[in-house]
């Protein structure tokens, strides 16, 4: 028998919702077949089968929420294996009952009876020496254990780089990796209750954290704690950009394309990254990675949080192409239909709150990127030209830099390059 485990569909995923099964008990499953749909903290994604066999049992019913990564969700039997009595369906971890915030105390309930023992424990998910999870099918882990193959040295050929049977069978035996120590629990939340901090029970409504909000809290806490941030702010006159946008949209009207201010800023970010390639970088333990393309991640607000779909190689794309791609990505982001490669990675981020009237702000860096640009509202302000007072449309932008990668001089060069492209958009065509 082989257990199908809840997959980790993104580096930040710890649990998900098993939204839909495309198979049932008794079905024959082939490698690469779409067997289920999983809702993660960011998107709904299809899951492909890695192993082949007959579905012995569905262990987690569709619609189950809070299913932990690597928990068994279904069981396959191989060709020639005898069928066994199906185990009772497994359930996702139930959320605790809400704690009463008023004067009434919650009634005590009897402890649930212990669940029957499973047929056998699922093989533990292996980890590399640095503690990173190694993604491998249950059958591949079993064969690796029997042959003494170190999975940390095996390259996976399955979906999303997962190690499958063929990868292990072709690997040379070696010492099995030592299990890593348990990672410390994530920090960030206060260990004290609100009542201990002076906010009385019953004076607030508690909204439980969903997967997206937990991920945002963890990633941004890690980023702000571990990355030495520093901001660089500058005012940019955008009258010429606004005039250029009117002419561009008039020229593209027959194509049904309407370029936004944000589309132009994406292009300007990409051009500035090519002009100052030292800013298009990420910090790694092995060295500073200088990226070949400007993959600009754009913050999009969706229900319950934020996601950053990516315009890949933005320096090579026209404004019309960027506009079409951004509209498509934003629409699918709000429907949680993005693929992992459409929102994971990126070399630079852009966050624009100008449409909300925010004058200026500084964002937290989106790892592993080295910079993020925060864009405020364009507004008419007094400016001095040739000793004379004039009025111009001005917006304030702030570049937040990872000082390990982008120091002050590099950041200042990038800001000046960006300012030049925005204030004179024709230069982006050169």
Distance from chain centroid for Cα 414:
26
Residues with Cβ within 8 Å of 342's Cβ and at least 6 positions away in sequence, in order, are: 309, 310, 329, 332
Residues with Cβ within 8 Å of 185's Cβ and at least 6 positions away in sequence, in order, are: none
- Indicate if 245 and 359 belong to the same structural domain: yes
- Indicate if 165 and 217 belong to the same structural domain: no
> Exposed e or buried b for every residue in 65-99, given b needs 16+ CB within 10 A?
bbbebbbbbbbbbeeeeeeeeeeeebebeeeeeee
- Indicate if 263 and 353 belong to the same structural domain: yes
- Indicate if 349 and 268 belong to the same structural domain: yes
Query: What are the C-alpha distances in Å from 298 to residues 9, 349, 377?
Result: 21, 6, 17
pLDDT tens-place values along the chain, 430 residues long: 788 999 887 766 778 889 899 999 889 988 888 999 898 767 778 888 888 889 989 999 998 988 998 899 999 887 656 665 554 544 444 444 444 444 333 333 333 333 333 334 334 445 554 445 677 776 677 778 777 888 877 887 765 567 877 777 777 665 333 333 333 334 456 667 888 889 999 999 998 887 778 888 888 999 999 999 999 999 999 999 999 999 999 999 999 999 999 999 999 999 999 999 999 999 999 999 999 999 999 999 988 888 999 999 999 999 999 999 999 999 999 988 898 889 988 999 999 999 999 999 999 999 999 999 999 999 999 999 999 999 999 999 999 999 999 999 999 999 999 999 999 999 987 6
- Indicate if 358 and 246 belong to the same structural domain: yes
* Nearest partner of 249 among 300, 314, 329, 323, judged by Cα: 323
**In the prediction, which pLDDT does 106 show?**
36
- Three-state SS for 136-201 is ECHHHHHHHHHHCCCHHHCCCCCHHHCECHHHHHCCCCCCCCCCCCCCCCCCCCCCCCCCCCCCCC
**In the prediction, which pLDDT does 121 show?**
39
Q: Do the Cβ atoms of 350 and 296 come closer than 8 Å? A: yes
* DSSP-derived 3-state class of residue 236: strand
- Indicate if 303 and 165 belong to the same structural domain: no
* Number of domains composing the chain: 2
CATH number for the domain that contains residue 57: 2.40.50.100
Q: Do the Cβ atoms of 405 and 228 come closer than 8 Å? A: no
Give the end of a domain, one of 169, 188, 205: 169
What is the C-alpha separation between 417 and 275, in angstroms, rounded?
Answer: 7
* Block residue for tokens 């864009």: 375
> Exposed e or buried b for every residue in 386-413, given b needs 16+ CB within 10 A?
eeeeeebbbbbbbbbbbeebbeeebbbb
Q: Is residue 201 part of a domain?
A: no
Residues with Cβ within 8 Å of 263's Cβ and at least 6 positions away in sequence, in order, are: 319, 322, 323, 326
- Indicate if 349 and 238 belong to the same structural domain: yes
Q: Do the Cβ atoms of 227 and 404 come closer than 8 Å? A: yes
- Indicate if 262 and 385 belong to the same structural domain: yes
What is the C-alpha separation between 298 and 308, in angstroms, rounded?
Answer: 5
Global pTM exceeds 0.75: no
- Indicate if 319 and 382 belong to the same structural domain: yes
- Indicate if 144 and 238 belong to the same structural domain: no
Residues with Cβ within 8 Å of 162's Cβ and at least 6 positions away in sequence, in order, are: 7, 50, 135, 136, 137, 156
* DSSP-derived 3-state class of residue 277: helix
| Residue 340 DSSP class | G
CATH number for the domain that contains residue 303: 3.30.559.10
Domain that holds residue 153: 2-91+119-169
The CB density around residue 199, as the number of other CB atoms within 10 Å, is 11
Give the end of a domain, one of 109, 143, 169: 169
**In the prediction, which pLDDT does 82 show?**
61
Tokens of 206: 């508690």
Report the relative pairing of strands 34-39 and 2-5 from DSSP bridges.
Answer: unpaired
**DSSP per-residue codes, 377-425:** --EEEEEEETTEEEEEEEEEEEEEEETTTS-HHHHHHHHHHHHHHHHSG
- Indicate if 164 and 26 belong to the same structural domain: yes
Query: What are the C-alpha distances in Å from 57 to residues 127, 137, 209, 377?
Result: 28, 17, 31, 56
- Indicate if 386 and 297 belong to the same structural domain: yes
Q: Is residue 270 part of a domain?
A: yes
What is the C-alpha separation between 266 and 314, in angstroms, rounded?
Answer: 7
Q: Is residue 6 part of a domain?
A: yes
* Nearest partner of 361 among 370, 369, 371, 351, judged by Cα: 351
What is the C-alpha separation between 400 and 402, in angstroms, rounded?
Answer: 7
**In the prediction, which pLDDT does 353 show?**
96
* Burial (Cβ within 10 Å: 0-12, 13-18, ≥19) of residue 206: exposed
Q: Which residue intervals of 276-367 are DSSP H helices?
A: 319-334
Q: Which residue intervals of 276-302 are DSSP H helices?
A: none
Give the end of a domain, one of 169, 200, 229: 169
What is the C-alpha separation between 402 and 419, in angstroms, rounded?
Answer: 20
Q: Is residue 197 part of a domain?
A: no
403 in catalytic set: yes
Q: Is residue 181 part of a domain?
A: no
């Amino acid at each position: 028998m082989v257990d199908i485990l809840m997959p980790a569909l993104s580096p930040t995923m710890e649990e998900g919702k098993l939204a839909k099964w495309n198979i049932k008990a008794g079905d024959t499953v082939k490698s690469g077949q779409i067997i289920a749909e999983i809702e993660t903290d960011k998107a709904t994604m299809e899951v492909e089968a890695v192993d082949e066999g007959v579905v012995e049992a569905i262990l987690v019913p569709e619609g189950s929420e809070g299913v932990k990564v690597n928990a068994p969700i279904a069981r396959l039997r191989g060709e020639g294996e005898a069928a066994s009595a199906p185990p009772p369906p497994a359930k996702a971890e139930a959320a605790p009952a809400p704690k009463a915030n008023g004067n009434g105390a919650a009634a005590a309930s009897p402890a649930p009876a212990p669940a029957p023992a499973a047929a056998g424990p699922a093989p533990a998910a292996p980890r590399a020496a640095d503690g990173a999870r190694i993604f491998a099918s249950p059958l591949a882990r079993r064969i690796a254990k029997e042959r003494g193959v170190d999975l940390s040295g095996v390259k996976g050929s399955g979906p999303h780089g997962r190690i499958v049977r063929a990868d292990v069978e072709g690997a040379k035996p070696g010492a099995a990796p030592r299990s890593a120590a348990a990672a410390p629990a994530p920090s960030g939340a206060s260990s004290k209750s609100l009542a201990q901090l002076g906010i009385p029970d019953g004076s607030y409504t508690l909204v439980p954290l969903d997967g997206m909000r937990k991920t945002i809290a963890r990633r941004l806490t890690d980023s702000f704690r571990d990355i030495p941030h520093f901001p660089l702010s500058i005012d940019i006159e955008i009258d010429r950009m606004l005039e250029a946008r009117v002419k561009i949209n008039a020229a593209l009207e027959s194509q049904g394309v309407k370029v936004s201010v944000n589309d132009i800023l994406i292009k300007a970010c990409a051009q500035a990254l090519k002009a100052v390639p030292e800013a298009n970088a990420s910090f790694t333990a092995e060295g500073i990675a200088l990226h070949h393309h400007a993959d600009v991640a754009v913050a999009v607000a969706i229900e319950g949080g934020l996601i950053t779909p990516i315009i890949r190689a933005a320096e090579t794309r026209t404004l019309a192409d960027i506009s079409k791609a951004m509209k498509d990505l934003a629409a699918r982001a709000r429907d949680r239909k993005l693929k992992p490669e459409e929102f994971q990675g990126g070399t630079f981020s852009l966050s624009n709150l100008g449409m909300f009237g925010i004058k200026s702000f500084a964002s937290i860096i989106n790892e592993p990127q080295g910079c993020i640009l925060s864009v405020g509202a364009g507004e008419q302000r007094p400016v001095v030209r040739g000793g004379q007072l004039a009025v111009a449309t001005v917006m304030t932008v702030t570049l937040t830099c990872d000082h390990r990668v982008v120091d002050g001089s590099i950041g200042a060069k990038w800001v000046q390059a960006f300012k030049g492209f925005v204030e004179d958009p024709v230069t982006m065509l050169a």
